[in-house]
Structure 1
Amino acid sequence: MVAFIVPGNYGAVIGVALGAIPVLGFVHGIITGTLRKEAKVPYPHSYASMELCKENAKAEQFNCAQRAHTNFLENSSQTMLFTLVAGLKYPEWAAGLGALWVFFRALFLYGYVYSGKPQGKGRMIGGFFWLVQGALWGLSIYGVGRPLFSF
Protein backbone atom coordinates (compact mmCIF):
# COMPACT_ATOMS: atom_id res chain seq x y z
CA MET A 1 0.00 0.00 0.00
CA VAL A 2 1.19 3.47 -0.88
CA ALA A 3 -0.13 6.52 0.91
CA PHE A 4 0.15 10.06 -0.40
CA ILE A 5 -0.04 12.90 2.04
CA VAL A 6 -1.78 15.72 0.26
CA PRO A 7 -1.24 19.20 1.69
CA GLY A 8 -4.32 21.05 2.87
CA ASN A 9 -3.85 23.74 0.22
CA TYR A 10 -3.55 21.24 -2.65
CA GLY A 11 -6.90 22.40 -4.04
CA ALA A 12 -5.22 25.32 -5.82
CA VAL A 13 -2.86 22.86 -7.53
CA ILE A 14 -5.81 20.77 -8.70
CA GLY A 15 -7.61 23.92 -9.82
CA VAL A 16 -4.72 24.88 -12.09
CA ALA A 17 -3.70 21.42 -13.33
CA LEU A 18 -7.16 19.96 -13.84
CA GLY A 19 -9.11 23.18 -14.33
CA ALA A 20 -7.26 26.09 -15.90
CA ILE A 21 -5.02 24.06 -18.22
CA PRO A 22 -7.91 22.04 -19.74
CA VAL A 23 -10.00 25.22 -20.08
CA LEU A 24 -7.19 26.81 -22.08
CA GLY A 25 -7.12 23.69 -24.28
CA PHE A 26 -10.85 24.14 -24.89
CA VAL A 27 -10.26 27.79 -25.87
CA HIS A 28 -7.57 26.62 -28.31
CA GLY A 29 -10.05 24.21 -29.86
CA ILE A 30 -12.78 26.84 -30.24
CA ILE A 31 -10.41 29.34 -31.89
CA THR A 32 -8.96 26.71 -34.23
CA GLY A 33 -12.38 25.36 -35.16
CA THR A 34 -13.75 28.82 -35.88
CA LEU A 35 -10.78 29.73 -38.05
CA ARG A 36 -10.93 26.37 -39.87
CA LYS A 37 -14.42 27.26 -41.05
CA GLU A 38 -13.39 30.79 -42.12
CA ALA A 39 -10.29 29.46 -43.88
CA LYS A 40 -12.32 26.80 -45.69
CA VAL A 41 -9.92 24.00 -44.74
CA PRO A 42 -11.90 20.74 -44.85
CA TYR A 43 -11.40 17.81 -42.54
CA PRO A 44 -9.26 15.71 -42.34
CA HIS A 45 -6.61 18.22 -43.45
CA SER A 46 -4.64 19.58 -40.52
CA TYR A 47 -3.29 22.67 -42.24
CA ALA A 48 -4.09 24.95 -45.17
CA SER A 49 -1.84 24.62 -48.20
CA MET A 50 0.62 27.37 -49.09
CA GLU A 51 -1.48 28.18 -52.14
CA LEU A 52 -4.60 28.66 -50.03
CA CYS A 53 -2.66 30.83 -47.58
CA LYS A 54 -1.58 33.13 -50.42
CA GLU A 55 -5.17 33.73 -51.51
CA ASN A 56 -6.89 33.69 -48.11
CA ALA A 57 -5.41 35.47 -45.07
CA LYS A 58 -7.70 33.45 -42.80
CA ALA A 59 -5.95 30.29 -43.98
CA GLU A 60 -2.60 31.55 -42.69
CA GLN A 61 -4.26 32.58 -39.43
CA PHE A 62 -5.82 29.12 -39.17
CA ASN A 63 -2.40 27.53 -39.65
CA CYS A 64 -1.03 29.68 -36.81
CA ALA A 65 -3.94 28.70 -34.55
CA GLN A 66 -3.54 25.04 -35.45
CA ARG A 67 0.18 25.10 -34.70
CA ALA A 68 -0.38 26.92 -31.39
CA HIS A 69 -2.98 24.31 -30.47
CA THR A 70 -0.70 21.43 -31.45
CA ASN A 71 2.15 22.91 -29.43
CA PHE A 72 -0.22 23.27 -26.48
CA LEU A 73 -1.21 19.59 -26.78
CA GLU A 74 2.46 18.59 -26.97
CA ASN A 75 3.17 20.31 -23.65
CA SER A 76 -0.01 20.41 -21.58
CA SER A 77 -0.23 16.81 -20.32
CA GLN A 78 3.30 16.74 -18.95
CA THR A 79 2.85 20.21 -17.46
CA MET A 80 -0.34 19.04 -15.74
CA LEU A 81 1.50 16.02 -14.35
CA PHE A 82 4.50 17.99 -13.14
CA THR A 83 2.20 20.57 -11.54
CA LEU A 84 0.35 17.83 -9.65
CA VAL A 85 3.58 16.10 -8.58
CA ALA A 86 5.38 19.31 -7.54
CA GLY A 87 2.27 20.35 -5.63
CA LEU A 88 2.58 17.38 -3.29
CA LYS A 89 5.66 18.97 -1.75
CA TYR A 90 5.38 22.63 -2.80
CA PRO A 91 1.69 23.43 -3.37
CA GLU A 92 1.99 27.23 -3.42
CA TRP A 93 4.89 27.20 -5.86
CA ALA A 94 3.27 24.59 -8.08
CA ALA A 95 -0.07 26.42 -8.22
CA GLY A 96 1.67 29.75 -8.85
CA LEU A 97 3.95 28.40 -11.56
CA GLY A 98 1.05 26.49 -13.14
CA ALA A 99 -1.05 29.66 -13.25
CA LEU A 100 1.90 31.56 -14.73
CA TRP A 101 2.28 28.83 -17.36
CA VAL A 102 -1.40 29.24 -18.32
CA PHE A 103 -0.93 33.02 -18.54
CA PHE A 104 2.10 32.75 -20.84
CA ARG A 105 0.42 30.05 -22.94
CA ALA A 106 -2.57 32.38 -23.42
CA LEU A 107 -0.15 35.13 -24.54
CA PHE A 108 1.53 32.62 -26.85
CA LEU A 109 -1.84 31.77 -28.41
CA TYR A 110 -2.86 35.41 -28.74
CA GLY A 111 0.46 36.45 -30.26
CA TYR A 112 0.56 33.51 -32.64
CA VAL A 113 -2.98 33.98 -33.96
CA TYR A 114 -3.90 37.64 -33.59
CA SER A 115 -0.69 39.70 -33.65
CA GLY A 116 -0.61 39.91 -37.43
CA LYS A 117 3.13 39.26 -37.46
CA PRO A 118 4.32 37.07 -40.35
CA GLN A 119 5.00 33.38 -39.79
CA GLY A 120 3.38 33.50 -36.35
CA LYS A 121 6.31 35.41 -34.84
CA GLY A 122 3.93 37.16 -32.46
CA ARG A 123 4.03 33.98 -30.38
CA MET A 124 7.30 35.16 -28.86
CA ILE A 125 5.41 37.37 -26.40
CA GLY A 126 4.32 34.22 -24.59
CA GLY A 127 7.52 32.26 -25.06
CA PHE A 128 8.36 32.55 -21.37
CA PHE A 129 6.10 29.55 -20.80
CA TRP A 130 9.18 27.42 -21.60
CA LEU A 131 11.01 28.82 -18.58
CA VAL A 132 8.01 28.30 -16.33
CA GLN A 133 7.55 24.77 -17.66
CA GLY A 134 11.20 24.06 -16.93
CA ALA A 135 10.77 25.39 -13.40
CA LEU A 136 7.81 23.06 -12.85
CA TRP A 137 9.81 20.11 -14.13
CA GLY A 138 12.72 21.01 -11.88
CA LEU A 139 10.52 21.59 -8.84
CA SER A 140 8.80 18.27 -9.34
CA ILE A 141 12.05 16.35 -9.78
CA TYR A 142 13.61 18.14 -6.80
CA GLY A 143 10.57 17.41 -4.63
CA VAL A 144 10.50 13.73 -5.53
CA GLY A 145 14.26 13.17 -5.68
CA ARG A 146 15.20 15.05 -2.54
CA PRO A 147 14.17 12.30 -0.11
CA LEU A 148 16.15 9.77 -2.16
CA PHE A 149 19.42 11.64 -1.77
CA SER A 150 19.28 13.00 1.78
CA PHE A 151 22.08 11.78 3.99
Structure 2
Amino acid sequence: MVQITIPENYGAVIGVALGVIPVLGFIHGFVTTGLRKPAKVPYPHSYATVEQCKENAKAEQFNCAQRAHSNFLENAPQTMLFTLVAGLKYPQLAAGIGAVWAVLRALYMYGYVYSGKPQGKGRMLGGFFWFAQAALWGLSVFGVGRNLISY
Protein backbone atom coordinates (compact mmCIF):
# COMPACT_ATOMS: atom_id res chain seq x y z
CA MET A 1 0.00 0.00 0.00
CA VAL A 2 1.16 3.50 -0.82
CA GLN A 3 0.53 6.22 1.71
CA ILE A 4 0.86 9.89 0.84
CA THR A 5 1.34 12.30 3.69
CA ILE A 6 0.34 15.86 2.97
CA PRO A 7 2.51 18.40 4.80
CA GLU A 8 0.77 20.94 7.03
CA ASN A 9 1.84 23.87 4.88
CA TYR A 10 0.67 22.29 1.59
CA GLY A 11 -2.05 24.95 1.21
CA ALA A 12 0.40 27.36 -0.44
CA VAL A 13 1.29 24.66 -2.97
CA ILE A 14 -2.38 24.18 -3.82
CA GLY A 15 -2.84 27.94 -3.97
CA VAL A 16 -0.11 28.30 -6.59
CA ALA A 17 -0.78 25.14 -8.63
CA LEU A 18 -4.57 25.24 -8.62
CA GLY A 19 -5.13 28.96 -8.08
CA VAL A 20 -2.46 31.29 -9.43
CA ILE A 21 -1.53 29.27 -12.53
CA PRO A 22 -5.14 28.78 -13.75
CA VAL A 23 -5.92 32.46 -13.10
CA LEU A 24 -2.91 33.39 -15.23
CA GLY A 25 -4.33 31.16 -17.98
CA PHE A 26 -7.61 33.07 -17.75
CA ILE A 27 -5.71 36.35 -18.09
CA HIS A 28 -3.94 35.01 -21.19
CA GLY A 29 -7.29 34.13 -22.73
CA PHE A 30 -8.77 37.51 -21.80
CA VAL A 31 -5.85 39.40 -23.40
CA THR A 32 -5.97 37.29 -26.55
CA THR A 33 -9.74 37.56 -26.92
CA GLY A 34 -9.59 41.33 -26.43
CA LEU A 35 -7.15 41.69 -29.32
CA ARG A 36 -9.09 39.50 -31.77
CA LYS A 37 -11.61 42.15 -32.88
CA PRO A 38 -9.08 45.00 -33.41
CA ALA A 39 -6.90 42.51 -35.29
CA LYS A 40 -9.86 41.64 -37.54
CA VAL A 41 -9.23 37.90 -37.21
CA PRO A 42 -12.61 36.16 -37.31
CA TYR A 43 -13.37 32.83 -35.69
CA PRO A 44 -12.43 30.01 -36.28
CA HIS A 45 -9.05 31.35 -37.43
CA SER A 46 -6.34 31.13 -34.78
CA TYR A 47 -3.85 33.56 -36.27
CA ALA A 48 -3.72 36.57 -38.58
CA THR A 49 -2.06 36.05 -41.95
CA VAL A 50 1.22 37.72 -42.90
CA GLU A 51 -0.76 40.06 -45.15
CA GLN A 52 -3.09 41.04 -42.30
CA CYS A 53 -0.08 41.75 -40.07
CA LYS A 54 1.44 44.04 -42.70
CA GLU A 55 -1.80 46.01 -42.96
CA ASN A 56 -2.73 46.11 -39.26
CA ALA A 57 -0.30 46.30 -36.31
CA LYS A 58 -3.05 44.90 -34.05
CA ALA A 59 -2.99 41.69 -36.11
CA GLU A 60 0.67 41.17 -35.27
CA GLN A 61 -0.06 41.95 -31.62
CA PHE A 62 -2.92 39.43 -31.68
CA ASN A 63 -0.58 36.78 -33.10
CA CYS A 64 1.91 37.47 -30.30
CA ALA A 65 -0.86 37.17 -27.69
CA GLN A 66 -2.13 33.97 -29.28
CA ARG A 67 1.34 32.44 -29.32
CA ALA A 68 2.05 33.48 -25.72
CA HIS A 69 -1.26 31.90 -24.70
CA SER A 70 -0.53 28.71 -26.64
CA ASN A 71 2.93 28.46 -25.11
CA PHE A 72 1.39 28.92 -21.67
CA LEU A 73 -1.12 26.14 -22.36
CA GLU A 74 1.71 23.86 -23.52
CA ASN A 75 3.58 24.33 -20.22
CA ALA A 76 0.99 25.01 -17.50
CA PRO A 77 -0.33 21.44 -16.96
CA GLN A 78 3.08 19.90 -16.33
CA THR A 79 4.12 22.85 -14.17
CA MET A 80 0.98 22.45 -12.07
CA LEU A 81 1.74 18.75 -11.67
CA PHE A 82 5.41 19.36 -10.85
CA THR A 83 4.39 21.94 -8.24
CA LEU A 84 1.90 19.56 -6.61
CA VAL A 85 4.33 16.61 -6.58
CA ALA A 86 7.38 18.61 -5.48
CA GLY A 87 5.25 20.20 -2.78
CA LEU A 88 4.71 16.83 -1.11
CA LYS A 89 8.36 16.80 -0.07
CA TYR A 90 9.33 20.48 -0.34
CA PRO A 91 6.13 22.52 0.14
CA GLN A 92 7.59 25.97 0.76
CA LEU A 93 10.21 25.65 -1.96
CA ALA A 94 7.72 24.29 -4.50
CA ALA A 95 5.19 27.05 -3.75
CA GLY A 96 7.92 29.68 -4.02
CA ILE A 97 9.32 28.39 -7.29
CA GLY A 98 5.80 27.94 -8.66
CA ALA A 99 5.02 31.57 -7.79
CA VAL A 100 8.26 32.70 -9.47
CA TRP A 101 7.28 30.66 -12.54
CA ALA A 102 3.90 32.44 -12.65
CA VAL A 103 5.49 35.89 -12.36
CA LEU A 104 7.98 35.06 -15.12
CA ARG A 105 5.14 33.74 -17.31
CA ALA A 106 3.25 37.01 -16.76
CA LEU A 107 6.37 38.95 -17.79
CA TYR A 108 6.75 36.64 -20.80
CA MET A 109 3.19 37.44 -21.92
CA TYR A 110 3.56 41.16 -21.21
CA GLY A 111 6.82 41.37 -23.14
CA TYR A 112 5.50 39.28 -26.02
CA VAL A 113 2.28 41.26 -26.42
CA TYR A 114 2.97 44.81 -25.26
CA SER A 115 6.70 45.49 -25.71
CA GLY A 116 6.35 46.54 -29.33
CA LYS A 117 9.50 44.62 -30.21
CA PRO A 118 9.36 42.92 -33.62
CA GLN A 119 8.56 39.22 -33.89
CA GLY A 120 7.59 39.03 -30.24
CA LYS A 121 11.18 39.38 -29.04
CA GLY A 122 9.93 41.17 -25.92
CA ARG A 123 9.02 37.73 -24.57
CA MET A 124 12.62 37.32 -23.46
CA LEU A 125 11.68 39.54 -20.51
CA GLY A 126 10.21 36.48 -18.80
CA GLY A 127 12.05 33.76 -20.67
CA PHE A 128 13.72 32.53 -17.50
CA PHE A 129 10.51 30.70 -16.60
CA TRP A 130 12.22 27.64 -18.11
CA PHE A 131 14.65 27.58 -15.18
CA ALA A 132 11.82 27.63 -12.65
CA GLN A 133 10.01 24.91 -14.58
CA ALA A 134 13.15 22.78 -14.67
CA ALA A 135 13.68 23.31 -10.94
CA LEU A 136 10.14 22.09 -10.22
CA TRP A 137 10.71 19.05 -12.42
CA GLY A 138 13.97 18.31 -10.61
CA LEU A 139 12.36 18.66 -7.20
CA SER A 140 9.57 16.32 -8.30
CA VAL A 141 11.96 13.67 -9.55
CA PHE A 142 14.34 14.05 -6.61
CA GLY A 143 11.57 14.06 -4.01
CA VAL A 144 9.78 11.03 -5.45
CA GLY A 145 13.03 9.25 -6.31
CA ARG A 146 14.35 9.61 -2.77
CA ASN A 147 11.19 8.04 -1.39
CA LEU A 148 11.29 5.16 -3.87
CA ILE A 149 14.95 4.38 -3.14
CA SER A 150 14.42 4.40 0.60
CA TYR A 151 12.03 1.42 0.45
TM-score bracket for this pair, using the shorter chain length: over 0.9
5+ long unaligned stretches in structure 2: none
Alignment of 1:65-144 (within 5 A): 65-144=65-144
| CA offsets 1:30-63 (integer angstroms, 9 cap, x no match) | 0000001110101111100000000000000000
Find the aligned partners of 1:148 and 1:81 in 2 and give their Cα distance: 18
Report the residue type matching 2:75 in the other structure.
Answer: N
5+ long unaligned stretches in structure 1: none
Aligned pair 1:9/2:9, yes or no? yes
> TM (normalized to structure 2)?
0.97
Find the aligned partners of 1:4 and 1:141 in 2 and give their Cα distance: 16
Report the residue type matching 1:65 in the other structure.
Answer: A
Deviation at 1:141, TM superposition (A): 0.3
Find the aligned partners of 1:82 and 1:148 in 2 and give their Cα distance: 17
Find the aligned partners of 1:127 and 1:149 in 2 and give their Cα distance: 34
| CA offsets 1:73-102 (integer angstroms, 9 cap, x no match) | 000000000000000000000000000000
How many residue pairs end up in the alignment? Answer: 151
1:43 is matched with which residue? Answer: 43
Deviation at 1:4, TM superposition (A): 1.4
Find the aligned partners of 1:14 and 1:95 in 2 and give their Cα distance: 8
Find the aligned partners of 1:25 and 1:110 in 2 and give their Cα distance: 13
RMSD: 1.1
Tell me which stretches of 4 or more aligned residues in structure 1 moved more than 6 Å. Answer: none
Deviation at 1:150, TM superposition (A): 4.2
Report the residue type matching 2:92 in the other structure.
Answer: E
> TM (normalized to structure 1)?
0.97
Find the aligned partners of 1:149 and 1:8 in 2 and give their Cα distance: 24
Find the aligned partners of 1:136 and 1:59 in 2 and give their Cα distance: 35
1:31 is matched with which residue? Answer: 31
Deviation at 1:149, TM superposition (A): 2.8
Report the residue type matching 1:69 in the other structure.
Answer: H
Identity over aligned residues, as a percent?
76
Report the residue type matching 2:69 in the other structure.
Answer: H
Aligned pair 1:52/2:56, yes or no? no
SS in 2 for 1:9: helix
Deviation at 1:2, TM superposition (A): 3.5
